[in-house]
Chains A and B, each alone.
Chain A
Amino acid sequence: MEDAIAVRGLVVDRGGRRVLDGIDATVPRGSVTGLLGPSGSGKTTLMRAIVGVQVITAGTVTVLGAPAGSAQLRHRVGYLTQAPSVYADLTVRENVRYFAALHGRGRAEADRAMTDVGLASAAGQLVGTLSGGQRSRASLACALVGEPELVVLDEPTVGQDPVLRADLWARFHELAAAGTALLVSSHVMDEAARCDRLLLIREGRLIADDTPAAVRAAAGVDDLDEAFLRLIRAGEAGGPAGSAAGEA
């Protein structure tokens, strides 16, 4: 089966600066792919290009077999922006039901999405009165409620406590097992270990595209944090960092 996402030679300039500089990457279906990199490395811009809201300078982005952003994909892709993009003056339930309705889903799917993110008990609360972590889970529920084939999540677990984070990751793997492709960005390395595959970007370039085990092996250390540091240093020195670090 074709990949969920295929990015070829993607270049993006924003505000006169080259934010993505020739990215080649694929994201398979039925798995959780982690997009990791320091803040400002271009993670959000890459995700925006994939969901089709980013003006791109060069290259192609193919999503579920169609050019990113094409009309037929709007039913099939779910996007969680980094800042929680939900209506603060609506309740959690009203928000989730609205986004459910946009995707042609009903109340049952909305209830399910709220339960999945642990907000069933806060369903009647105005989003404006929620904590930061709850608010971003409300936003996550709105991204998942359409039961999309591809889910693009920009830092979904920021501000969540460890128990909730574990629950959310378990849910992501359930979705992957059911055939959904997930692309999840994070800058927390302990989350990288939970992914099936990793994309590491730095300063707009891809410096690793492999499984967590292969990334560890390539860097010659067990700790992913340390492995990434070594890959980054090797990249800065201009030398090869092992087989995992493609010259993307």
Chain B
Amino acid sequence: MNPRILAVTVARILRQLRHDRRTIALLVAVPTVLLTLVYYMYVDQPAVPGQPSAFDRIALVMLGFFPFIVMFLVTSIAMLRERTTGTLERLLTTPLAKTDLLFGYGIAFGLAGALQAAIAAAVAYWVFGLHTAGSSGLVIMIAALNAVLAVALGLLCSAFARTEFQAVQFMPVVVAPQLLLCGLFVPRDQMAGWLQAISDALPLTYAVEALQEVGARAEPTGTMWRDVAIVAGATVLALVLAAATLRRRSG
């Protein structure tokens, strides 16, 4: 890896994003619209005393979902575009290392995801009165980490897609099970054993648990830091696998 090449690659990816105004508008606006929907869905639900309100519970986890879903899709398509337009083949004949490209995407879209999370969190806290016991900075940090995890998974999955049609099919395959089993819809300790085992193996589970820890406790807990480390570890693993599946030579 070469720091100068990594830096110019991050700048190049962010420049591409900057030229795409509509994508930026969607990145910023869609979480706000969805948070509004969730707010009005639950605004009249009676709160159970001593428990967080339904909005607090769901909005907190949603702040982690947005960058995860969006950055997974954006990365899958961006990487597939590199393959189909021939820029990837050309890049691989230049001094750029494979890790320069993969970490370049991780950093650039991680930053975009962090920005999205920060804006969504600002709306959730200031407009809709989201309440968490812990700090909003930790919420944004975990959401940004989710974005980088999604980029890494997107880079890995794009190696197995030959067309855009295939690439978008990986979204229900990779993202949906993690959303369903993360513990938001059914608490994990109430799931059947085999579902819990699957849930244990999915990285988003730990991101959601970390967010719930921030929601419930004023100070960062050991569980939260362990969960953050697991998500970071899964991210590095996915990036290493993505580098291993990216071949300079093809048939």
Decide: B86 and A74 in contact? CB cutoff 8 A.
no
- Given known A75-B95, A85-B85, A85-B90, contact A98–B8 (CB-CB < 8 A): yes
Q: Which residues of B contact A74 (CB under 8 A)?
A: 93-96
Q: Which of A14, A77, A88 contacts B251 (CB 8 A)?
A: A14
Q: CB of A58 within 8 A of chain B?
A: no
Q: Which residues of B contact A53 (CB under 8 A)?
A: 89, 92-93, 248-250
Decide: B248 and A83 in contact? CB cutoff 8 A.
no
Decide: A55 and B250 in contact? CB cutoff 8 A.
yes
Tally of contacts, chain A with chain B, CB under 8 A:
76
Q: CB of A81 within 8 A of chain B?
A: yes
B12 to chain A, nearest CB (A): 5
Give A101's nearest chain B residue, CB to CB: B8
Per-residue 0/1 for B94-113: is the Cβ within 8 Å of any A Cβ (1 yes, 0 no)?
Answer: 11100000000000000000
In the bound complex, CA of A48 to CA of B247 (Å): 14
Q: A residues 182-204 with Cβ under 8 Å of B?
A: none
Q: Which residues of A contact B95 (CB under 8 A)?
A: 74-75, 102-104
Q: Which residues of B contact A28 (CB under 8 A)?
A: none
Q: CB of B217 within 8 A of chain A?
A: no
- Given known A55-B251, A85-B85, contact A90–B93 (CB-CB < 8 A): no
Decide: A81 and B94 in contact? CB cutoff 8 A.
no
- Given known A53-B248, A85-B87, contact A79–B19 (CB-CB < 8 A): no
In the bound complex, CA of A127 to CA of B33 (Å): 33
Decide: B93 and A51 in contact? CB cutoff 8 A.
yes
B124 to chain A, nearest CB (A): 31
Q: CB of A94 within 8 A of chain B?
A: yes
B81 to chain A, nearest CB (A): 9
B78 to chain A, nearest CB (A): 10
Give A54's nearest chain B residue, CB to CB: B249
Decide: B93 and A89 in contact? CB cutoff 8 A.
no
List chain B positions with a Cβ less than 8 A from chain A. 4-5, 8-9, 12, 15-16, 19-20, 85-87, 89-96, 248-251
Interchain residue pairs A-B with the least CB separation, the first 7: A85-B86, A101-B8, A81-B86, A102-B94, A85-B90, A79-B93, A74-B95
List chain A positions with a Cβ less than 8 A from chain B. 14-15, 48, 51-55, 69, 74-75, 77, 79, 81, 83-90, 94, 98-99, 101-104, 126, 142-143, 146
- Sample 18 A-B pairs with CB under 8 A, ordered by A number: A14-B251, A15-B251, A53-B248, A55-B249, A55-B250, A55-B251, A69-B249, A74-B93, A85-B87, A85-B89, A87-B85, A90-B12, A90-B16, A94-B15, A102-B5, A104-B4, A104-B95, A126-B19
